[in-house]
């Protein structure tokens, strides 16, 4: 199958019971999938100083809730020997290997954070270094939506979001896409980026045995320089909360007086 181009697919569709069905071919093609994992940090771990500066002391990249869904997409499209994990920074390679990836590519000096473009370009370069990748599966995470969009732009491939399942069928990939109107099923030809959405928590978390075995699988350690991409492009000086009026705190030692003050304040604001 040709890879790296931009073939088009115009599937025929029919609507039945809220489900859009696309005509697909029989299973038969072997496809290679790169599954991206541990590519951003949990925003809840960020520390915001009084001056608006954001820092991440001791915080490492971590798998999002949608990373297992991306792995499910990879297993639906490719055999284990055709799955390669891709991560950046301090993402541990055994996460994907323990879930079936045959090998992993790590860009050690690229990190998630405010510069989503640099992270996306490093991921795209790692995907290309893996060779002949048909599908890139990545979690459709709300932790950092900018990276997924930038990754699509860096690869120049078609993309599908809110994907809950995928399966290789002939030269196509059959995708189940969650929409407000119900599930929409389409078939498209690779190459493509699939942003996977988890519908539940990971059912079968690998144990110690799988993790130890995963550490024996091959890992290609790359740098931004070796892949020909910049380690960082943009910077973030800080952030701030929306402007608002200061809170008024009433002395509750005298309940009657506190209630009277509250009523006066509400009338003054035009609430009453």
Query: pLDDT tens digit string along 211-259?
Result: 999 999 999 999 988 998 876 655 666 666 656 666 778 888 888 888 8
pLDDT (tens digit per residue) in 177-213 = 999 888 999 999 999 999 999 988 888 888 999 899 9
Q: In the structure, what pLDDT confidence band is assigned to residue 47 with cuts at 50, 70 and 90?
A: confident
Residue 103, beta-bridge partner list: 84
> H-helix or E-strand containing 13?
strand 13-16
pLDDT reading at 2 higher than 50: no
Q: What residues have CB less than 8 Å from 206, skipping those under 6 apart?
A: 98, 99, 214
Least Cα distance to 213 among 94, 37, 128, 111 occurs for 94
Q: Which of 234, 203, 237 is nearest to 116 (CA)?
A: 234
pLDDT for the residue numbered 109: 86
Q: Is the peptide bond before 24 cis (omega within 30 degrees of 0)?
A: no
| Six token digits for residue 169 | 């069928």
| Number of helices (H), then strands (E), in the chain | 7, 13
């Amino acid at each position: 199958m040709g890879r790296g181009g931009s073939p088009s697919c115009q599937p025929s569709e029919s609507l039945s019971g809220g489900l859009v069905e696309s005509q697909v071919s029989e299973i038969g093609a072997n496809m290679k999938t790169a599954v991206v994992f541990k590519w951003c940090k949990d925003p809840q771990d960020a520390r915001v100083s009084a001056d608006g500066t954001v820092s991440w002391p001791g915080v490492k990249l971590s798998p999002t809730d949608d990373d297992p869904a991306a792995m499910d997409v990879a297993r639906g499209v490719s055999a284990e020997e055709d799955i390669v994990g891709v991560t950046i920074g301090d993402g541990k390679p055994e996460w994907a290997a323990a879930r079936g990836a045959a090998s992993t590519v790590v860009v050690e000096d690229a990190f998630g954070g405010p510069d989503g473009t640099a992270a996306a370009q490093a991921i795209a370069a790692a995907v290309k270094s893996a060779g002949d990748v048909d599908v890139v599966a990545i979690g459709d995470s709300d932790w950092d939506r900018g990276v997924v969009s930038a990754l699509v732009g860096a690869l120049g491939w078609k993309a599908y979001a809110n994907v809950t399942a995928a399966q290789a069928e002939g030269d196509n990939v059959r995708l189940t896409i969650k929409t407000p109107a119900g599930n929409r099923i389409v078939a498209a030809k690779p190459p493509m980026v699939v942003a996977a959405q988890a519908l539940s928590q990971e059912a079968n978390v690998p144990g110690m045995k799988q993790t130890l075995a995963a550490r024996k699988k091959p890992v290609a350690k790359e740098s931004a320089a070796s892949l020909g991409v910049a380690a960082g492009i943009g910077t973030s000086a800080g952030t701030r909360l929306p402007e608002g009026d200061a809170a008024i705190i009433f002395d509750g030692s005298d309940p009657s007086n506190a209630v009277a003050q509250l009523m006066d304040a509400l009338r003054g604001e035009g609430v009453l």
